[in-house]
């Protein structure tokens, strides 16, 4: 775990709010010179605290209107297929997230699709064709109440 001080945390909080802030804007906001701010920023990238920058798109605006959470149970006799299963998921752009979980299922996926027909094709033709899958249960999201990507930072150290 990286050792972060209050300036690092403030810098991270600002970047989570707006990843496009210029170095000058960041420096002014945290009270550092541009050179000091740039050094800290690069250090956070090198430490792997900042992993990437991306533009967040509104799915419905580009025709992706269905979100589903898919629970997958693997056949116990196919544990050797886990590596190929995980690798295959990385090549499926409909899969936004994959989590190995405890409980009745082995994995939970967050999947996006244009519509219910598109989701059905993905589930029945692509997903269940993967090796080792024993059980698939899906839940279609009716409404997104809240979503965030910003991580909670230790507030006590930021003030």
The per-residue pLDDT string of the chain (159 residues; one tens digit each, 9 = 90 and over) reads 789 999 999 999 999 999 999 999 999 999 999 999 999 999 999 999 999 999 999 999 999 999 999 999 998 876 677 888 999 999 999 999 999 999 999 999 999 999 999 999 999 999 999 988 999 999 999 999 999 999 999 864 444
Which letter does DSSP use for residue 23 in this model?
H
CB atoms inside a 10 Å sphere around CB 36: 13
Sketch the domain layout of the chain as residue ranges.
6-55, 59-140
Torsion sign across C-alpha atoms 57, 63, 68, 70: negative
| Distance from C-alpha of 121 to C-alpha of 126, rounded to nearest angstrom | 7
Judged by DSSP in three states, 43 sits in: helix
Class of domain 59-140: alpha beta
Q: Which has the closest alpha carbon to 122: 98, 144, 92?
A: 92
List C-alpha distances in Å: 127 to 31, 69, 104, 113, 139.
50, 13, 19, 13, 15
CATH fold group of domain 6-55: Arc Repressor Mutant, subunit A (1.10.10)
């Amino acid at each position: 775990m990286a050792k972060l001080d209050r300036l690092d945390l403030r810098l991270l909080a600002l970047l989570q709010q707006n990843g496009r802030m210029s170095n000058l804007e960041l420096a002014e906001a945290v009270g550092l010179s541009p050179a000091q701010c740039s050094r800290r920023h690069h250090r956070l990238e090198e430490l792997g605290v900042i992993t990437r920058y991306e533009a967040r798109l509104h799915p419905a605006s580009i025709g992706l209107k269905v979100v589903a959470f898919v629970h997958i149970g693997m056949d116990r006799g196919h544990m050797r297929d886990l590596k190929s299963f995980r690798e295959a998921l990385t090549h499926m752009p409909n899969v936004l997230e994959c989590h190995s979980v405890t409980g009745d299922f082995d994995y939970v996926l967050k999947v996006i699709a244009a519509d219910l027909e598109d989701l059905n094709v993905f589930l029945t033709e692509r997903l269940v064709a993967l090796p080792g899958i024993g059980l698939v249960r899906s839940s279609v999201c009716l409404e997104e109440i809240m979503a965030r990507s910003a991580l909670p930072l230790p507030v006590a150290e930021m003030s």
